[in-house]
Amino acid sequence: MKSVITASMRKAGSSIIDLIVTHILNAKGFQIDRIARSVPDSNLPEHEIFIGYQDKMKPENVYYGVARGTYVSKCNVM
């Protein structure tokens, strides 16, 4: 199973979608690594966290959560 990341804009129901997708993919056996959860504890803006995390992303069997913003198009997602 290929890894998954969802993309959304802020204030577009992304938190609800993230919870639903997390539940479904967890039930299907995906590992859950919701990158955005590290944003509140970081001094970096969210887009820098996602872009910097790319080298740690695995191409299979992981759900990386929701990325919110226009920076998503700059990420090298598998």
The reported pLDDT for the residue numbered 74 is: 54
**At 56, is the secondary structure helix, strand, or coil?**
helix
Residue 20 has pLDDT above 70, yes or no: yes
> What's the pLDDT at 78?
46
Is the pLDDT at 55 greater than 50, yes or no?
yes
Residue boundaries of the structural domains of the chain: 4-74
Question: Which has the higher per-residue pLDDT, 77 or 2?
Answer: 2
Strand boundaries in 30-76, DSSP class E: 31-32, 62-68
Residue 46 pLDDT greater than 90, yes or no: no
Look up the pTM and report it: 0.81
For residue 36, what pLDDT band results from cuts at 50, 70 and 90? confident
